[in-house]
Amino acid sequence: MLQIAVTGKPNVGKSSFFNSATLSEVEVANYPFTTIDANAAIAYVTSPCPCGELEVTCNPRTGKCEEHIRYIPVELIDVAGLVPGAHEGKGLGNQFLDDLSQARALIHIIDASGSTDAEGNPCEAGSHDPLDDVNFLKGEVTMWVYSILERNWPRLIRKVMSEHLNFAKVIAEQLSGAGVFLDDVLEAERSITDTNYDKWEKDEILDFIEKILEHAKPIIIVANKIDTPTAYENIQRLQEKYDQVIPTSAESELALVNAQKAGLIKYQSGDDHFTIVDEAKLSDKQKAALMYIDENVLKKYGSTGIQETLNTAVYDVLNEIVVYPVEDEHKYSDQKGNILPDALLIPKGSNPRDLAYCIHTDIGEGFTHAIDARRNMRISSEQELKQSDIISIISNK
Ligand SMILES: Nc1nc2c(ncn2[C@@H]2O[C@H](COP(=O)(O)OP(=O)(O)OP(=O)(O)O)[C@@H](O)[C@H]2O)c(=O)[nH]1
């Protein structure tokens, strides 16, 4: 399953984000390092389910479908302990970096209210500039990878040169434990102009690592605590400076999801509104909190931003698409009659053969052809699959 890390300085709202997205119960408190271990849980990205347009009732094997919106599972990892200088052992040191190694993308939460200082301690709202927090995650991760490469660089380069080995392959092997793959290194290699690797100085190695990481561990900037008065101006400045900044209020999402679970409101993650089920059941305090969220988050920003963050990470940053494999192309079902049982996330650009391998190696090896169930037509094994395709794979294994 696709893994995404939620990270950032202490106190910015990582646990709240993680809890609201996964509804698990990790401790939330207003002091640094409430979360000491990496927590992993299932969150969901959303996509319109073809069951609506096809007028069928689907039976998801994993996740769920509500009002023709399919909820597709991804694994979220709550990674704590990141402070500036962590790669030198500050805070909880390097421990968090190992947790990041499994992740394909990093959700970097920053406190847009400016009420958490550089080290992650609570401070007066507005007294810290969140723009100062954006770059350090990239810096820490870069230095982590550098520490892996640095100690072996001369030996690796000697090996590449004397044994005429492929540079990208050797580097990728060295970084496999950090979750860096050959594709990531090949992508970075394209921008290299100086191939005298044995003469590279620290800066050149660092530039190269940054390029690898852009591909291997893309970062999504999330500006949290938008419900606070000091956040608005900071978010505008962040959005002016960086291409993609997603405003969120993890605490509001948590409150809304809990109210929805308790049957007090009707609300779906990602909605721009909620409906109160029975006003008499709400205390004055609850009513006031819901009204505050409505005015200061939903009406102002369009949503709490949590679902948008997950969808942006998976669809826009990691470039995944959703495809529905079926066995019976007429009924859109598996052999047992379950309609649209699976919604798979696969990289954009995948073809039916890739999909077959994604389902199972045996199915990939026995692949003969594929059928586009919507059009009831055989398609080429090389044809690029599209978002929401329903595909039947024919395999002789
Ligand atoms: N106003 C506001 N406060 C929030 C929001 N999200 C989290 N907080 C508060 O920020 C504080 C820290 O939240 P946590 O979720 O524990 O933060 P963390 O980043 O996991 O902290 P560590 O475990 O120390 O790394 C708590 O007091 C939360 O209630 C939000 O969207 N708005």
Ligand 1 close to Cβ of residue 10 (< 6 A): yes
Residue 105 sits in the same domain as residue 177: no
**Confidence (pLDDT) at 193:** 86
Whole-angstrom Cα distance, residue 340 to residue 59?
6
Residue 396 lies in a domain: no
At which of 214, 232, 262 does a domain end?
214
Whole-angstrom Cα distance, residue 342 to residue 50?
12
Q: Hey, what are 132's tokens?
A: 């100062």
Instruction: Write the DSSP symbol of residue 384.
Output: P
**Confidence (pLDDT) at 28:** 54
Ligand 1 close to Cβ of residue 13 (< 6 A): yes
Residue 375 lies in a domain: no
Residue 326 lies in a domain: no
Whole-angstrom Cα distance, residue 209 to residue 2?
23
The burial class, CB within 10 Å (0-12 / 13-18 / 19+), for 167 is middle
**Confidence (pLDDT) at 27:** 52
Quote the pTM value.
0.91
Query: What φ, ψ does residue 45 adopt, rounded to 5°?
Result: -100, 155
**Confidence (pLDDT) at 283:** 93
Residue 93 sits in the same domain as residue 227: yes
Q: For residue 156, what are the CA distances in angstroms to 174, 176, 185, 393?
A: 9, 14, 15, 43
**Confidence (pLDDT) at 92:** 66
Nearest C-alpha to atom 2 of ligand 1 is from which residue? 225
Residue 172 sits in the same domain as residue 272: no
Residue 386 lies in a domain: no
Ligand 1 close to Cβ of residue 7 (< 6 A): no
Task: Name residue 384's amino acid.
Answer: E
Ligand 1 close to Cβ of residue 11 (< 6 A): yes
**Confidence (pLDDT) at 33:** 53
Residue 32 sits in the same domain as residue 100: yes
- pLDDT < 50: residue spans in the chain: 25, 36
Cα(34) to centroid(ligand 1), Å: 10
At which of 214, 241, 272 does a domain end?
214
Q: Which atom of ligand 1 is closest in space to residue 113's alpha carbon?
A: 1
Cα(21) to centroid(ligand 1), Å: 14
Residue 113 sits in the same domain as residue 226: yes
Whole-angstrom Cα distance, residue 379 to residue 354?
13
Residue from 22, 28, 77 whose mutation best tests the ligand 1 pocket (most atoms within 8 A of CB):
28
Q: Which atom of ligand 1 is closest in space to residue 304's alpha carbon?
A: 31
Residue 278 sits in the same domain as residue 196: no
Cα(225) to centroid(ligand 1), Å: 8
The CATH code of the domain that includes 204 is 1.10.8.470
**pLDDT for 219-250, tens place per residue?**
999 999 999 999 999 999 999 999 889 999 99
Q: Hey, what are 77's tokens?
A: 């990892």
Residue 318 lies in a domain: no
Cα(122) to centroid(ligand 1), Å: 10
Residue 19 lies in a domain: yes
Nearest C-alpha to atom 11 of ligand 1 is from which residue? 30
Q: Which atom of ligand 1 is closest in space to residue 253's alpha carbon?
A: 31
Ligand 1 close to Cβ of residue 165 (< 6 A): no
Residue 94 sits in the same domain as residue 64: yes
Cα(251) to centroid(ligand 1), Å: 7
Residue 116 sits in the same domain as residue 181: no
Q: Which atom of ligand 1 is closest in space to residue 32's alpha carbon?
A: 24
Cα(40) to centroid(ligand 1), Å: 18
Residue 194 sits in the same domain as residue 239: no
Total number of domains in the chain: 2
Instruction: Count the neighbouring beta carbons within 10 Å of the beta carbon of residue 293.
Output: 21
**pLDDT for 327-354, tens place per residue?**
999 999 999 999 999 999 999 999 999 9
Ligand 1 close to Cβ of residue 36 (< 6 A): no
Provide the domain limits for residue 90: 3-129+218-313
Residue 8 sits in the same domain as residue 117: yes
The structure tokens 């540079």 sit at 167
Produce one character per residue of 76-108: b if its CB has 16 or more CB atoms within 10 Å, e if not.
bbbbbbbbbebbeeebbebbbbebbbbbbbbbb
| Helix, strand, coil % over all residues of the chain, rounded to 5 | 40, 20, 40
Ligand 1 close to Cβ of residue 81 (< 6 A): no
**Confidence (pLDDT) at 24:** 52
- Rg, the chain, Cα only: 23
Residue 22 lies in a domain: yes
Cα(16) to centroid(ligand 1), Å: 6
The residues pairing with 265 across neighbouring beta strands, listed in sequence order, are 276
Cα(31) to centroid(ligand 1), Å: 9
Cα(105) to centroid(ligand 1), Å: 21
Ligand 1 close to Cβ of residue 30 (< 6 A): yes
Contact 9, 83 (CB under 8 A): yes
The CATH code of the domain that includes 80 is 3.40.50.300
Residue 240 sits in the same domain as residue 157: no
Residue 81 sits in the same domain as residue 225: yes
Ligand 1 close to Cβ of residue 28 (< 6 A): yes
**Confidence (pLDDT) at 357:** 94
**Nearest to residue 18, comparing CAs of 26, 8, 9, 10?**
26
Ligand 1 close to Cβ of residue 111 (< 6 A): no
Residue 179 lies in a domain: yes
Nearest C-alpha to atom 27 of ligand 1 is from which residue? 30
Whole-angstrom Cα distance, residue 359 to residue 346?
10
